[in-house]
Structure formats: C-alpha cells, structure tokens
Homo-oligomer: A and B are copies of this chain.
Amino acid sequence: MPQEDDNTVYVGSKPAMSYVLAVVTQFDEGHEQVHVKARGKAISRAVDVAEIVKSRFIEEATVEDISIGTDQIETDEGDEINVSSIQVDLSQ
C-alpha cells in the first residue's frame, strides 16, 4: 500500500489501480477528502487515479481543487533540480 499521510495518497510508479484502491480505502475509512499527490511523470497517473476513482468506484466523489507547483529535489549526485507537482483534492 502506497505510503500515506492520513488522507494523502502519493502516486508513484506502480500501476494506477494500486493507488485507486488506496484512495477508495481512505474514503471507506471515513475520510471526507483525499489528497492525491504526484511529481514529475507520475502526474499523468495521478490524474488517471482521480478519474478512475470518480468514474468507476465512487461516483459521487468530486474534484474539490487541483493545484500545481514546482518542488526542488536533490538528485543522487547532490544536484538540485526542479520538478513539477500536482495535488488533486477529491471529496465525497
């Protein structure tokens, strides 16, 4: 199960469905809002996750807000690079 801060699911390189299930689990556990976060190339998958949750699992879920930004991360070689980020807030 992807690492979660309470009601946040961080989308990485696993198949979208594993994050979809993580989001659904968060809602099942009683959270009214779940934040789907991702960086870089995983941003596309985060949008997939939000759309799959809404269209196939929790039809009353809505997108409350979407925000994008730029994070600075350090590479293994110690360089600082900018990477885009997204947060999709889903509510039910």
Contact = CB atoms under 8 A, between A and B. Distances in A.
Copy total for this chain: 2
Interface in A10-69: 40-44, 47-48, 50-51, 55, 63, 66-69
A68 B88 contact: yes
Interface residues of A, number: 21
Contacts of A43: 43-44, 47
Please name the 9 residue pairs, one residue from A and one from B, whose CB atoms are nearest each other, closest first: A43-B44, A66-B66, A47-B84, A51-B70, A48-B84, A44-B44, A51-B84, A47-B68, A41-B44
Interface of A: 40-44, 47-48, 50-51, 55, 63, 66-70, 82, 84-86, 88
